[in-house]
A and B are shown apart, each in its own frame.
Chain A
Amino acid sequence: QVQLKESGPGLVQPSQTLSLTCTVSGFSLTSYSVHWVRQHSGKSLEWMGRMWSDGDTSYNSAFTSRLSISRDTSKSQVFLKMNSLQTEDTGTYYCARLYGGIMDYWGQGVMVTVSS
């Protein structure tokens, strides 16, 4: 069955780089795009960017300068790297599969705290 699972450090220091991994199963990264979405505690969802099935990427303009998304199809993994982290980057980070514009499967999310 389709599954996505995020992993990464729970605590990152201010000004450092966040590195997250989304490991997928039950589908191929060459057939579906995978997105990253952030949620501040108890608040709304914020689309960050996507890895297209052809390997191309697109980003929310709010993150373009410090966000990078890449993948390793052999390992069924999509990576998020975001630099210059600040306390306002604290939140839960989700990866989700996109099907025709909608996010039909989501990971469980990984909580990231930015603090010294």
Chain B
Amino acid sequence: DIQMTQSPASLSASLGETVTIECRASEDIYSNLAWYQQKPGNSPQLLIYDANSLADGVPSRFSGSGSGTQYSLKINSLQSEDVASYFCQQYNNYLTFGSGTKLEIK
């Protein structure tokens, strides 16, 4: 099974800052990676797919990058509505999620 190691587990940043969340796969997943945002009390929502493609309706301050086993999600100009948990998910071989990053505003 492919393991996804996500870091950090939690993150606190100020409004307007840029934050980055990392995900490392246990083997090459060929950019078959998605990022989801889950706001408190809600179900996850798709942000990024194919490592760097923005899902419909997602603000352009979100971006994804990476290849091979290393991937990242960047949020520019942090807004209050970005308070949420973020999960990576590989779909190269079955499906596996990262452990999540809880983002708070400082």
* A residues with CB within 8 A of B: 35, 43-47, 58, 60-61, 94, 100-104, 106-109
Tell whether B32 is near chain A: CB-to-CB under 8 Å: yes
Q: Determine if A45 and B44 form an interchain contact, defined as CB atoms under 8 angstroms apart.
A: yes
In addition to A43-B100, A102-B91, 15 A-B residue pairs with Cβ atoms within 8 Å of each other are A44-B87, A44-B98, A44-B99, A44-B100, A45-B89, A45-B97, A47-B97, A61-B1, A100-B49, A101-B49, A101-B95, A102-B49, A103-B36, A108-B43, A109-B43
In the bound complex, residues from chain B placing their C-beta under 8 Å from that of A108 are 43
Q: Determine if B94 and A102 form an interchain contact, defined as CB atoms under 8 angstroms apart.
A: no
**Nearest CB of chain A from residue B68's CB, rounded to whole Å:** 17
In the bound complex, residues from chain B placing their C-beta under 8 Å from that of A106 are 43-45
In the bound complex, residues from chain A placing their C-beta under 8 Å from that of B99 are 43-44
| CA A100 to CA B49, docked complex, whole Å | 10
- The answer, among A44, A45, A103, for a CB contact under 8 Å with B46, is A103
* B residues with CB within 8 A of A: 1, 32, 34, 36, 43-46, 49, 55, 87, 89, 91, 94-100
**Nearest CB of chain A from residue B92's CB, rounded to whole Å:** 8
Using known A-B contacts A94-B43, A106-B44, determine if residue A45 contacts B87 with beta carbons closer than 8 Å: yes
In the bound complex, residues from chain B placing their C-beta under 8 Å from that of A61 are 1
| CA A35 to CA B100, docked complex, whole Å | 19
Interface CB pairs A-B, < 8 A, 26: A35-B95, A43-B99, A43-B100, A44-B87, A44-B98, A44-B99, A45-B44, A45-B87, A45-B97, A45-B100, A47-B94, A47-B95, A47-B96, A58-B94, A60-B94, A101-B34, A101-B49, A101-B95, A102-B46, A102-B89, A103-B46, A103-B89, A104-B46, A104-B55, A107-B43, A108-B43
Q: Determine if B91 and A101 form an interchain contact, defined as CB atoms under 8 angstroms apart.
A: yes
CB-CB nearest in chain B for A50: B95
In the bound complex, residues from chain A placing their C-beta under 8 Å from that of B44 are 45, 94, 103, 106
